[in-house]
Chains A and B, each alone.
Chain A
Amino acid sequence: MQLTIRATGENVQVLSHLLAKNPSNLYERTHKDHAIRLFFSTFTDKQMEMTIFVTPDPLSLINQSSGAYDITHYINDREFAVSSIFTSLIRPALSTALNGKPKEAYEKWVEHSFSFHFSFGPVATELSEQEIRNLFEPLGYEVNIEFGETDYSFQIKEKSSACYITLSGMSTLQKGLHQLFVLIPVLDNYKHYFIDDTEIEKLKRYGEGWLDTHPEKEFIIRKALRFKELYDQFEKPEENLQPIRTKQLPLNELRYEKIVDKVSALPKKRKVVDFGSGEGKLSAKLGFVNGVEEILAVEPSESETLKAVKRFEKLKEQKDFTMPTMIWGSLFYFDERLKNKDVIILCEVIEHIDEERLPKIMALILAYYQPSALIVTTPNKEYNRVYAMSDEMRHSDHRFEWTRHAFREWCEQMNHSGQYEIAFEGIGEEDMQYGSPTQMCTFIRKENQL
């Protein structure tokens, strides 16, 4: 990780004073075993070139932090790429220049613009070349990007993910450094960057005089303070689809409503199992169904379970609410507790399971658990057209999505022994050609099988 400052023209030698570094000495400091070094490679009347680089101690860089049990923790770019680690390590060496506080005699040069070339790298960034230019060109720099080599013996990547950037333009030293100290971390990919209040303060200080008018201001601030952003970004892609629909209830609500209606209408409904209950939305609604006396909410994910428990706790005091019981479980294992229930519900569950594994699950439910009723819902693939989707699926974890015909055929196959009556319905607004967004099949155990 390195930064080279090159300046040409008159008076460039005063820069050594602005930097408070003697051009004929080598500068070397260590901080937590990382070596910070600085030297002047050229120092003439009209040319000045200074390079500051950091040689990190690879082992102390990786020591004992959270990801220590993943090989990517040990082999990664942190030791090379310019990042917030780099800026914070070189900050003390460049503090005079950053603060614009040289010896009094040179103070007048602080505001003086020089013809600079700032070169730094390697940069590990997700930003496109254009996005990089958009960061620096508005500041008056010409941007040159040089990429690493990808001359590999086999096909792996077209373009290197490492680059070296040179900015050329007129600037004061202080402003140029301020811009770099803000924008280097913005360029960097690293996600585990801790942001605290001092970072916000630093952003304000270094951004003074240029950030406010920068056309990418929003972007820069967001990237600089991305840690908080991560939380806001967190949303399920599936839910994102729903705003396409009108003022109606979101699809998942419609689904829950339909299932609740279905269960209410069943003659036998005392004991209900909600498989893949997630954060407990459906189970909570089932808790208010008349005649339901026991709800087993089966869910293997701990974080979902915690949310569900919270949801149920809130409803605990409400009148006629049957508290669901959370069960840690999986469809791939036999679970004695699920035998002989009245209703088992698989709401948007099967499409998350590899198709080849489904017959076994259905055999387990229909032949061993033997509920009086089984309700299965799954997306109707045909309806994706209405969403103007092409071949992609509605959720990245969906292993398949079925047409109405495919679903019907599969349900009939699962009921090959004929112990259940099966019926199909749609959930959500129905399209003449493509049907409803969700399809549902209800299996009712035949009387003589009971």
Chain B
Amino acid sequence: MKITLPNAGIVLLVGVSNSGKTTLLNKWIDEQLILSSEVISSDEYRAVVGDTEFIQWAERPRDEADSLSDDYHALSREAFRLLDYALEARCRLNKLTFVDATHLYAEDRKHYIGLAKRHHVPITAIVLDIPQEILLERDALRKNPRGKKRVKQQFQNWKRELRFIKKEGFKSVYFIREDDDIDLIRKENPLLVEVGKGIDIIGDVHGCYDELMSLLLQMGYEQNEEELYIHPEGRKFMSVGDIMSRGPESLKTMQFFQRHVEQGLAYMTDSNHGWKIARWLDGRNVELKHGDEKVAQEFEQYEKEHGSSKVEELKETLKKFLLKAPSHYVLEKNGVKTAVCTHAGIKDEYIGKQSTTIQDFCRYGDTEEINTDGKPIRKDWYVHHKGSLTIVWGHDPKPQPLRINNTINIDQGVAFGGRLTAMRYPEQQFVSVKALKDYSGTSDNPLKKWEIERLIPPNIEKFINGYSVQTEQLGEVKIHGNIAKSAIDTVSHYTVPIEQLLYIPPTMSPTPSVSALLDYLEHPKEAIEYYRNHGVETMVAEKKHMGSRAVLLLFKNQAVAKKEIGFEIDGVIYTRTGRRFFDRLTEQEVVRKLTEELTHKRYFEKYQTDYVLLDAEIMPWNLKAKELISSQYAHVSENALLDRKKIVEKLKSANDINVENWIREYDEKLNNAEIFKEVFQKYCWDIEETEAIQIAPFHVMAHSEETFFHKPHTWHMEMNKEFAKDSSLFVTTEFKIISDSNSEKEVIAWWEEMTKEGHEGIVIKPEIFTSTFKGRLIQPAIKVRGRKYLHIIYGMDYLSPENLKRLKNRNTGKKQKLALKEFSLGLEGIRRFVDGESIERVHECVLATLALESDPVDPRL
């Protein structure tokens, strides 16, 4: 006889003592059909907890027998408790487990059936049906005979139970007789799909057959003689369901998938519409709405054209096809699972398992609540997703593929006039085809609704008591309530409007360790070492501009700005604290000049974008910091010079007393004060006209459809050149590449030279914008400031040995952590904006950076 076992779940051996359960399992272990670790037996656990498998009380005086019997039951209770624990653990891990115990009572079996259900695994019973004589014979030969009386008693009970087993809720029940020849078959997990040459995961098609065809062609699929779509590289495609309803050609689409799935060229998961249609085809009484009625109409039409027997045949085929669709697929690369495809959502603990609960969840998502107009409120199942598996899903139309928490929604509402998306796996690239029209014929268009709701002010409740942001680069970043509140306060009073505030540049750490050289605080050597120690061989060293950091958001025209951010503006320029950089009039003038230049260069056409988001430095320093310079730097410089000049003067006028040492000391101090004065002036110049303003855009953060965090800095520098070419405001950034010891020497010499003149210094970055080492994000940039420049940061006398010694005790740990958090928050926010996510989701990141910035760190770092 054949016994087919699922890949996971519980297999209960059922049979009285001596029926051969252990013997059978041992035989399978010997034949290497099962693993010994797959078997858990009550006898073993009795030994584990109580040192013995059995306690014999037969033929003892009554009082002794009673006591021993109590002991045995206590032993069994503890053994089963442990056994259950192990079994549940194995179920959670989706393993197959054989439970070797008698399982003679319905109640025992019910316990395991419940347990299996709770863990969404199938349960199978293998029943050993052995005659009483054989049982008695075997018992007599046993090491610890249970005794005739007990065996007979068990057997009687057993005979009564036997009839009911089939109806108890096992997925399958096998009865084995004494001399049955057993063929044990173990099934693979049907949900696993090896990625192989690649899988193209396709979002909800909804009967949009034409768009599906162009999508497949665009991805390189070719039609063969049998009208099957084959990829020359051997790729396959996979649908996340909802291939029918709403759109114009559900039948054709279903037939298409049915044929390709049958041929092993494609896959399709179950889905809410799929399930509805399947039950309708199965003759169930279901109400067809939300576009399902169109499917029925197509069948009627089909019947008119092909007759009733053809239509029945088709219905039967499609019904079987739809009913067979699994809740989800687990994609594996080299036998390691890396991604999950499902229709509406999945919980982490469901992955790789099958049950009606899971099937339902994957069809509809998390839908516990019903809103006032009777529609289910979708709950955000994806916020609970943890771990590295990428979950690809559809069901809920979004204007752009939506990446949240390592889940990717690829339903771009083709039936609603949106797009049909495919995500190529493992490349994770998106290919999409625009819908030929809006087929849905409903005013309740989720894409339009999304667009309208996208700019609704963020919900304050999500932030005020603290929150966390899931970032792609760094995982969860936590924000405490008190700093969130202070950031909300800032946003409410000082910043540009929330919709324009897309990005706050991160803080930057100076060299993680101070210079090993005696008379330097910072030196390029330590920055280069940091990167080499973190696996970065090639670095880009950029000359650091001394001005003020600024974010520029420039639009192609006011109409696209209205669409993107809800404001009819040409652009906006703001500081690292989110405040408007210039006064309004200057901003208008600067933005107008910049957008005119870009338009003139045909920038927006060339890059097919509606806007550009730039991270830049705006010079001169006095543009933004005039007040600070006047009241701090100039003021301090004047005081120092006056003080030191007078003292030197007085000392030098001393006649009869030796003050040489004091003179030497004060000459040095006077020199320091003069350097101080020289240095801060270096970054200032008069600005009568906007022409005197210089803007160095060193990072291109985003275009309409794209972010540039994967690009090398050399690319960003190329873009910088392009902006600066023939520009009245944009300027270039000088840079050098460090790739070996020669170029390293060159950069250090360059740094020495420029900083000797009082220039601020350089910023060293890893070649690639976002770099990691052993899977962890590393500093995106490290600043190395010049010896002279640091006079205006650490004080004019900082280089005196006793001062420098103390200053070298600085610690950049907190600054570095902050830089990483702010960096990943910045990127996350921009990505969300580019992906068309709600302004609330973008603001979540921006607010977090503002909040982190309100947490104090040493401002000299």
Contacts and interface: CB of A to CB of B under 8 A. Distances in A.
Contacts of A354: 497
A106 interface: no
A169 interface: no
Interface string B447-479: 000000000111111011000000000000000
Contacts of B803: 58-59
A119 B639 CA distance: 15
A162 B639 contact: yes
A156 B457 contact: no
Interface string B485-500: 1001101110001110
B639 A148 contact: yes
A300 B634 contact: no
5 contacts: A1-B643, A43-B656, A81-B643, A149-B638, A162-B642
Contact of B636 (A76, A150, A157, A368): A76
B54 interface: no
Interface stretch (B57-65, B207-215, B542-550, B647-655): B647-655
Contacts of A51: 647, 650-651
Given A75-B792, A122-B643, 9 more contacts: A26-B658, A49-B653, A71-B632, A75-B636, A75-B793, A124-B639, A156-B629, A334-B458, A360-B499
A435 interface: no
Interface residues of B, number: 67
A333 B460 CA distance: 5
A79 B800 CA distance: 15
A282 interface: no
B86 interface: no
A256 to B, nearest CB: 23
A436 interface: no
A357 B792 CA distance: 38
A357 B657 CA distance: 71
Contact of B461 (A1, A79, A121, A335): A335
A69 B655 contact: no
B632 A76 contact: yes
Interface centre among A2, A81, A152, A356 (most CB of B within 10 A): A152
B457 A157 contact: no
A84 to B, nearest CB: 16
Interface string B324-351: 0000000000000000000000000000
Interface string B619-663: 010100010111111111011111100110011011111110010
A396 to B, nearest CB: 13
B457 A364 contact: yes
Nearest to B462: A333
A58 B642 contact: no
Contacts of A156: 622, 626, 629-630, 634, 684
Given A53-B647, A70-B859, A149-B638, A58 B460 contact: no
A391 interface: no
Interface string B130-149: 00000000000000000000
A328 B806 CA distance: 44
Contacts of B858: 68-69
B646 A121 contact: yes
Contacts, number: 186
A42 B636 contact: no
A75 B857 contact: no
A72 interface: yes
B619 to A, nearest CB: 12
A150 B638 contact: yes
A160 B643 CA distance: 13
A150 B460 contact: no
Interface in A53-77: 53, 55, 58-59, 68-77
B586 interface: no
Contact of B638 (A37, A162, A368): A162
Contacts of A39: 651, 654, 657, 659, 662
Contact residue range for chain A? 35 or more
A134 interface: no
Contacts of A76: 632, 636
- Give the one of A153, A333, A352 with max B CB within 10 A: A333
A24 B634 contact: no
Contacts of A42: 653-655
B317 interface: no
A122 B642 contact: yes
B685 interface: yes
Given A330-B492, A333-B460, A58 B795 contact: yes
Interface in B560-607: 566-567
A69 B654 CA distance: 42
B659 A26 contact: yes
Contacts of A434: none
Contact of A332 (B464, B491, B631, B655): B491
Interface of B: 456-461, 463-464, 485, 488-489, 491-493, 497-499, 566-567, 620, 622, 626, 628-636, 638-643, 646-647, 650-651, 653-659, 662, 665, 681, 684-686, 792-795, 797, 803, 806-807, 856-860
A80 B639 contact: yes
A331 interface: yes
A281 B685 CA distance: 50
A122 B491 contact: no
A4 interface: yes
A280 B762 CA distance: 52
A199 to B, nearest CB: 24
Most chain B Cβ neighbours within 10 Å, of A4, A24, A39, A331: A39
A360 B658 CA distance: 75
Contacts of B567: 356
Nearest to A70: B859
A157 B657 CA distance: 40
Contact of A74 (B458, B630, B662, B793): B793
A301 B493 CA distance: 11
A53 B669 CA distance: 14
A252 B631 CA distance: 37
A77 to B, nearest CB: 5
A80 B636 contact: yes
A161 interface: yes
A161 B633 CA distance: 11
A152 B497 contact: no
Contacts of A162: 635, 638-639, 641-642
Given A148-B642, A156-B626, A161-B638, A329 B657 contact: no
Contacts of A360: 457, 497, 499, 566
A1 B653 CA distance: 18
Q: Which 7 A-B pairs give the minimum distances between C-beta atoms?
A: A148-B638, A69-B856, A333-B460, A162-B638, A80-B639, A41-B654, A162-B639
A118 interface: no
Contacts of A331: 492
A74 B794 contact: yes
A332 B487 CA distance: 12
B671 to A, nearest CB: 15
Given A72-B632, A332-B491, A121 B653 contact: no
Contacts of A300: 485, 488-489, 492
B78 to A, nearest CB: 52
B634 A69 contact: no
Contacts of A337: 461
B502 to A, nearest CB: 15
A350 B731 CA distance: 40
A154 interface: yes
A318 interface: no
B795 A333 contact: no
A231 to B, nearest CB: 24
Contacts of B491: 330, 332
Interface string A312-336: 0000000000000000111111111
A233 interface: no
A119 to B, nearest CB: 8
Contacts of B489: 300-301, 330
Contacts of B499: 360
